[in-house]
Amino acid sequence: MTGKVFTIAQQKGGAGKSTLAAHLAVAWARTGKSVAIIDIDPQASLEHWFEARIDRLGEDDLGITFVSSTGWRSTREVANLTRGHDVVVVDSPPHAETESRIAVRAANMVVIPAQPSPLDVWATLPTVELAHREKSPATIVLNRVPPRANLTAQMVTKIGGYPIKVARNLIGNRVAFAESMASGRTAMETRPSSVAAKEIRALARELFRKA
């Protein structure tokens, strides 16, 4: 088995990177895939989420494997995880050049969350450039999209001269995401019939198919 690696990368803070990583990992796991998360972000947001998940669900019902790593060890960790899992989700650091490069290089797809404003999309340029240098396919996911957002996926075709793919499925700015993360879960577990859960499931299907 050689699993698909999805690196969630965004050098601009506040884009919802860790929340998206957790939700995608659980979405894939709930379709029967074996899924691992590796957190190489020094902020350790996903590690805190996973600890809350253990407290809430116990050791035997987590649904995913979790590993935290730093530096060059991350390359070996990702390689090891791909041998035993269908999907490996990497939560990369926002600014550490070495760790970000390692995570992007390992990816079958680099997933770049961006809020739907021109300033936020333009701020993704360093991440897009990094993916381009490492020859890793990248897809922007418009995240935290408010109602009546002016920026649509069709408008984001080039960033800094680089052609960029944009996921067809958008993720709305929904309370269910933050609420569920606080308890170590996801919107699919706390509100399975919600719009938030449906959006994540649709995005997970799309990304897995394209990777």
**pLDDT, tens only, 45-59:** 999 999 999 999 998
Q: Which residue has the tokens 């990992």?
A: 25
CA 59 to chain centroid: 23
Q: How far is CA 159 from the centre of its chain?
A: 20
Structural domains in the chain (count): 1
Q: What is the CATH number of the domain that holds 173?
A: 3.40.50.300
78-134, pLDDT tens digit by residue?
Answer: 999 999 999 999 999 887 677 888 899 999 999 999 988 888 888 899 999 999 999
Is residue 101 within 8 A of residue 134, CB to CB? The reply is yes
| CB-CB contact of 165 with 139 (8 Å) | yes
Instruction: Evaluate if residue 138 carries a pLDDT over 80.
Output: yes
The band of 154, judged by pLDDT with boundaries at 50, 70 and 90, is low
Give the structural domain span for 92.
4-210
